[in-house]
Structure 1
C-alpha cells in the first residue's frame, strides 16, 4: 500500500509517497510567510498534498498529515504557527473524497517514528523533543505517544524561560532569530543565520545560542524529575544538527548527575514526516 505523508512546519513543508521501498518523490518547499502569517489559507500545504496524491500512479488510499499545532482526535485546535484554513482532514474532500486523511501533531508523529524504528523502540518510558522553528515535547509510554485529555500534552515550549514569556519564545528557532535581532539591531529571518554567526565568533549570537541551549537543558531536567524517562530524544531541525546551541545543551546535560541518555532522533529532521506516513498505515520494513 502506498500512502502520502505531509509535514507542515513553520519553516518548511515536506511531503513524500511511502510504499514498500520506503519514501519516494520527496518534495520540500519553504513555508510562505506574509505579514507574520505562515502559509495563509494553507495554500502551500494544500497544493503540495494535491500534487503528491495526484502524481501517484497506483492510487493513494490514505494520507497522514503532521502539523505544528495542537491536535485532538484528528482535529486541529490551535492556530499558533500555521494560518490554516479548513481542517486539514478536509483538504482532499473535494478532489479525492475516497482518500482517508489522518492528522496528528508533528511532535507526536516524530515520537511515533522513533517508537517504530528508532531511539524509543523497546523503551518503557521516553521523552521526545521537537526542537525547530517551534519547541514541543511528547511523552511515550509502552510504545505509544501520550496525547493527554485535550491533545495538549506537548507544551514543553510553554514552560517559563529566563527572559520572555515562554521557553519557546526564548530557545526555539523563531525565538533565537527574534532575540538576536533585538540585541544586535540586525534583522534575521531564521535561526540558522544566528547559529552561523555564533559559529563565526559573533559574541551576541554566541550568547543568544548558548543561553538557549542551557535554558532548554534546564527545562528538560525538570521533565526528567517529573516523568523519570528511560531516555530523552532530540528531534527537529535544531535537535538533529550540530551548532552552538546544541553544544551548550549537551554540555549542560553532561554536567548534571544521574540524567538519562540524551540521544538524537535516528530518523533525523524527517521524523515527523515518516511518523505521519506510519499514522496513515504505512509500515516500515
Structure 2
C-alpha cells in the first residue's frame, strides 16, 4: 500500500493506492497553520488510513516548496511556516519509517505522466495554475529534480517578452517583481481584471479583456518552456486549468515565440483532476515500493 499526502495551504489530503494504482482510501482535513500542527495533521492522517486498511504503507508527501539539498530544511514554500524546518527528518522520526517528499507540482506531473494525460510520453511538463504557479518535469517516467531541487520552478522566472505595461511587473512574495506567478495565478487574474471578480467568474466570460491578456501571457510563458525543454506534452493543473479556452487559444498563439517552424507539443487538461497531486505523492515510491520511482 502506498500512502500519498498532499500538503496544501488550506486542506491536507491523504489517499492510499493499491498495487494497480487505484485509490482505496481518501481523507481530507483542514491544514495546520503552524509547523507543529502540520506534523500532527500528517501523523493523524497516516494513522487513520492505516487503521482502516489494517496495514502499514510507504508514505510520500507533496508539499509547497522543496527540501534544500544543502541543509535538509524546507525552502521556497508559500506556506511560510514550513520554511527552515527539517520536515523530512521530523516526519520520518515521527512515523518511524523513511518518507519521500517532493514539490506539489512535481507530484502533479508525476501522476499525469505515469498513468494520466501524459502517459506514454517521454517528456512531460506539468503546470499548476492556481493560487500559486509551479511546474514539474518528468523524463522517461522519472521526476527531474536537479542538484538544487528547483527543476520546473517555472512560476519564479520572469514573464518573457514583456509588454510595456508589464514592466517591472507586480511584486512577488519571493522578493522579486514580474515573476510568472504574479501574472498567471488565480489572484493575479482577478487583480488584473480589476472588477472585484474572482478567477472562476472571469473564466466564464470569454470576451473579458483580462482573459484575453491571460491567454497571451500564458502562451508566451509556455512558449519559453517549449523552446527550452521541448516536451511531448504539457499538462495543465490547478483551478485555472478548468478554463476550456486555454486548450485552443494557447496553441494558436504560442508559435509566435517558439524557436521552430512548427509546434508538435500537445497542451492537455489533467486526467486525474484535483487528485493528481496526492496520487503523485503516493507514486513517489514508484511501481516497486522497494526501489523507488
When normalised by structure 2's length, the TM-score is: 0.76
Asked whether 1:277 is paired with 2:278, we answer: no
The one of 197, 202, 207 equivalent to 2:209 is: 207
- Greater alpha carbon shift after TM alignment, 263-272 vs 66-75: 66-75
Aligned to 1:46, the other structure's residue is in SS state helix
How many corresponding residue pairs? 260
Displacement of 1:248 in angstroms is: 4.6
* Corresponding residue of 1:80: 77
Q: How far apart in 2 are the matches of 1:230 and 1:66?
A: 24
Q: How far apart in 1 are the matches of 2:94 and 2:203?
A: 47
Aligned to 2:147, the other structure's residue is in SS state coil
Q: Which runs of 4+ in 1 moved over 6 A?
A: none
Asked whether 1:267 is paired with 2:272, we answer: yes
* Corresponding residue of 1:54: 47
Q: Give the unaligned 5+ runs of structure 1.
A: 33-38
Asked whether 1:173 is paired with 2:186, we answer: yes
Q: How far apart in 2 are the matches of 1:72 and 1:124?
A: 27
Listed one character per residue, the Cα deviations across residues 200-253 of structure 1 (whole Å, up to 9, x for unaligned) are 68x8xx3334322321121101111122222211123322x2x3xx52563132
Displacement of 1:134 in angstroms is: 1.2
Listed one character per residue, the Cα deviations across residues 156-197 of structure 1 (whole Å, up to 9, x for unaligned) are 1123233322110111123234445xx34x4x7xxxx33215
* Corresponding residue of 2:258: none
Asked whether 1:70 is paired with 2:66, we answer: yes
The one of 131, 138, 159 equivalent to 1:140 is: 138
Listed one character per residue, the Cα deviations across residues 32-71 of structure 1 (whole Å, up to 9, x for unaligned) are 6xxxxxx33262x434322222222323242110012133
When normalised by structure 1's length, the TM-score is: 0.78
Q: How far apart in 2 are the matches of 1:250 and 1:78?
A: 36
Listed one character per residue, the Cα deviations across residues 104-137 of structure 1 (whole Å, up to 9, x for unaligned) are 1111112221222123333222322122221112
Instruction: Note if contact 1:15-1:52 (Cα within 8 Å) is conserved in structure 2.
Output: yes
Q: Give the unaligned 5+ runs of structure 2.
A: 160-165, 171-177, 256-261
Give the 5 Å matches for 1:167-246.
167-180=180-193, 183-184=194-195, 186=196, 193-199=198-204, 206-239=208-241, 241=242, 243=243
Instruction: Note if contact 2:64-2:76 (Cα within 8 Å) is conserved in structure 1.
Output: no
Aligned-residue CA RMSD in angstroms?
2.9
Displacement of 1:10 in angstroms is: 3.4
Aligned to 1:199, the other structure's residue is in SS state coil
Q: How far apart in 2 are the matches of 1:195 and 1:210?
A: 15
